[in-house]
Structure 1
């Protein structure tokens, strides 16, 4: 996979800046971008079974379906589905998906890992439902990245409690995320070691999801990667 272009990275960054005011544009663009990444490794999605785990209001699922995939959304939080959930969406815990083993051609999870308390169990479930030879697309925002605190970033560098208090003072409303409840400090180094220790997956891609140059190299430098990667993308193949 080639490094992302600077133009592509800039377009995504501009969309993120307007996420609150124009979420439709932001997430439609992100969904198209993610589907392009999946197809770079899995090939055309038409006729493939794609499982979108934790996909919220369904932007990714809709894009996969637009490309001809048989795509299903599994989301644990009814509020995240929105007022008009994607047809066929299922309320389901990512630790225990209502799917038979080896069912999916592609198991997709975008920016969910930092919101689960037990990443190892979550990853094991993604692997379980993926067929041998199938792909797992996993990306997450690591805690020490400039966006690690989500809506109260980058003030999380000064402490989560202080950052959340500042957010409430500035906006007049409580922050959506609370560290240790629905946001967790996930780091790149431990995550990579955890994945490499598994015997049931092979790492095909290890790179910054949005970085416009040296996207793979930056994830291989301990220390630096925790700050510079922003968002880690792993594409895994389930071993036979």
Structure 2
């Protein structure tokens, strides 16, 4: 079945999303399969060389390799890379803010739910464009701060402030959240992503759309303020010049 941003797809992803903390293999497995279809709308994955920035333990590797891609992963955390056991080949330990690759190396440069975890998100976005070949695709997806899940496990208390939500979580659970506001979680907005896409000069902007919403609801993401709440996750797709 061809990939399409239908209501049924949105419902399926939101149901899987509820299991992100308790059954990550269910959520990330569903998201990986969906990502193959989504990225495949812009690039031929068969035979392409792709980089997954923040690839983590490898939930996406099998899906993209199954589509024929030569998959490389980068992560800054050894613990994340080994989360599913042994670390796979073509895996690199490094920073998304300084990708250890030459200019114009990959046909596809992909990142899912990572941008909100780095202190300088648009520097990472620039780096992703830099290592993408001319004509290649840069696909960036991130969790929007003012969306219902913007605070990750501290949501919805992040609406009262990230630091306050972090302190509340620590008091309630007796330990810090995995995603610590100001250290490993930062407020990234739809407005900031749209502005970066408009102002960068290295690539043509193909799409700036909500990731999980059905196509019929995508017009909401054009409304200032409203889009920050209804867009759980934003996708920016570019073609390298």
TM range (shorter): over 0.9
Matches within 5 A, 1:14-25: 14-25=15-26
1:1-240 matches, cutoff 5 A: 4-43=5-44, 45-81=45-81, 82=83, 83-239=85-241
TM-score w.r.t. length of structure 2: 0.93
- Consecutive aligned runs of 4 or more in structure 1 exceeding 6 Å deviation: none
Q: Report if aligned partners of 1:134, 1:237 keep a CA contact under 8 Å in 2.
A: yes
SS in 2 for 1:199: coil
**Alpha-carbon distance between aligned partners in 2 of 1:179 and 1:60, rounded to the nearest angstrom:** 26
In 1, are the aligned partners of 2:220 and 2:227 still within 8 Å (CA)? yes
Q: Name the TM-score, length of structure 1 as normaliser.
A: 0.93
CA distance in 2, matches of 1:143, 1:224: 13
Contact 1:49 1:104 in 2 (8 A): yes
Q: Which whole-Å CA distance do the structure 1 matches of 2:156 and 2:219 have between them?
A: 24
Shift of 1:166: 3.0
- Secondary structure of 2:40's partner? helix
SS at structure 2 position matched to 1:27: helix
SS in 1 for 2:214: coil
Q: CA-atom RMSD, angstroms?
A: 1.7
Tell me if structure 2 keeps the 8 A contact 1:107–1:129: yes
Q: Extract unaligned runs of 5+ from structure 2.
A: none
The total of aligned residue pairs comes to 238
Cα distance per residue 1:28-71 (max 9 Å; x no partner): 1110001110001113x111001100011111122111211111
Contact 1:100 1:129 in 2 (8 A): yes
Deviations 1:136-183 (A, max 9, x none): 000111111111101111111112233223323444432112211111
